[in-house]
Amino acid sequence: MKILVVLSIASLPLMGALVGVRLLLAGRRSRQLPELFVGLGLTLTMCIGLPLSAIGRIPAVVETAFGGVAFALGLFVSMAGVACLYAFTWRVFRANDAWAIGLVAAATLLLFSLALGLLDAAAGFTEVDQIFPRTKPWACAICVVGASAFVWTSIESVNYYVMLRRCLALGLADAVVANRFLLWSVTGVTVTALCAGLTTALLSGQAALRDPLPLALIAACGVVASTAGYLAFLPPEPYLRAIRQRFDRELGLGLD
């Protein structure tokens, strides 16, 4: 059982590596900002930042200078990744809206300010039992701001999916593209649920990576989010055929 939980949690960094790096390479070739933003967001957050922060908080490491540097570096890398995800949603869905640019700027500033506040609260302490109560408010705030990036992208993706579904019957949209927006919204919802679980665990004093309930939530959300994210950006050909066949059946039945 423990092995399954570990593998489930590891699925998010794996998805971040597979999808993020591929999108970064695609963005480099195409010079398109959306691919660069989401590729950076997934790579920095899931593949580098969060694992590095987790290493820095391992009990045997947290008391060392390496632990402090690893946690701080991972924290700032994660904040940069979340800021890129905010920018991705702005660029894809709200590129012409001034309020969206302001939201990205405000969220970025807030994320790095909270990270500095957390590190300042932990300064001078080397034991988890001392660090945790002092950094809990900052960590909860970071979870909320980070989750908001996924809430926003989920709302925009669902709205776009609904619009594309209406266009499908008229032959004005592609079933695979519509499905990708649906999958990305699923990724956003499950990551939001993961952040909500972490925040609840922090507020209740639970150790998210040791207590069974938050650990199970993290594992389940990790599997769903990583699977949906992978299929949204790197779908295998059999999956694409299945989506097109399903749409053809629905269209034949007169469904929209």
Q: For residue 211, what pLDDT is reported? A: 61
Lowest mean pLDDT among 7-11, 24-28, 78-82, 176-180: 7-11
- Please tell me the distance from the alpha carbon of residue 37 to that of residue 92, in angstroms, as a whole number: 10
Look at residue 1 in the predicted model and tell me its pLDDT. Answer: 47
Selection from 9, 14, 19 nearest residue 184 by Cα: 19
Residue 156 pLDDT: 96
Q: What is the DSSP letter of 142?
A: H
Q: 142 pLDDT band (50/70/90 cuts)? A: very high
Helices 128-168 + 98-122 axis angle, to 10: 160
Q: What is the mean pLDDT of the chain?
A: 84
**Structure confidence at residue 255 (pLDDT):** 45
> What value does the mean pLDDT take over residues 67-94?
94
Query: What per-residue confidence (pLDDT) applies to 207?
Result: 57
pLDDT of residue 89: 96
Q: What is the pLDDT at residue 248?
A: 76
Q: Take residue 101 and report the two structure tokens written for it.
A: 């640019």
Position 6 pLDDT exceeds 80: no
Distance CA 135, CA 122 (A): 6
Quick one: average pLDDT of 6-29? 74
Q: Does residue 161 have a pLDDT over 60?
A: yes
In the block, residue with structure tokens 């924290």: 75
Summarize pLDDT for 83-123 with one digit per residue, the tens.
Answer: 999 999 999 999 999 999 999 999 999 999 999 999 999 88
Q: What domains does the chain contain, in order, with CATH numbers? A: 2-252 (1.20.1070)
* Region 226-252 average pLDDT: 85
Q: Supply the Cα-derived Rg of the chain in whole angstroms.
A: 19
pLDDT tens track for 209-237: 556 666 677 778 878 888 898 898 889 99
Q: Quick one: pLDDT at residue 256?
A: 44
What is the per-residue pLDDT for 3? 58
The pLDDT confidence band at residue 252, using thresholds 50, 70 and 90, is: low
Residues 6+ apart with CB under 8 A from 119: 72, 75
Counted residue by residue, the chain has a size of: 256
Amino acid identity for residue 212 in this structure: P
Using the predicted structure, report yes or no on whether residue 205 has a pLDDT greater than 90: no
Q: Is 32 helix (H, G, I), strand (E, B) or coil?
A: coil
